[in-house]
Amino acid sequence: MIIYNVTINIDESVHEQWFEWMMEKHIPAMMETGKFTKAKIVKPNMREEGVNLFGDKMLAFRTELELIKEFKSI
């Protein structure tokens, strides 16, 4: 198995518009290429303490992710 991961840091002011585009346009288009068997949208579970201490000066990713949506090819 190969996992192809793309991490995106999206500004809160355009988050809803971006999420709608991802769900309705981008991910379906990628799935239609036939190169993927499934897609997942996940977000990193950040530690609040680090964010509170260092704000936007720190960005850390862990392997623990929350599954938001999974797509499977038909």
pLDDT given for residue 67 in this prediction? 78
Top pLDDT among 2 and 41 is at 41
DSSP per-residue letters across 8-54: ----GGGHHHHHHHIIIIIHHHHHHTTS-SEEEEEEE---HHHHHHH
CA dihedral 23, 43, 74, 2 (to 10 degrees): 130
pLDDT given for residue 47 in this prediction? 66
User: Which residue type does 13 have?
Assistant: S
CA 9 – CA 46 distance, rounded (Å): 13
pLDDT given for residue 13 in this prediction? 94
Reported pTM: 0.62
Q: What is the pLDDT of residues 8-64, one digit of tens each?
A: 888 889 999 999 999 999 999 999 999 888 999 987 666 677 777 887 787 666 556
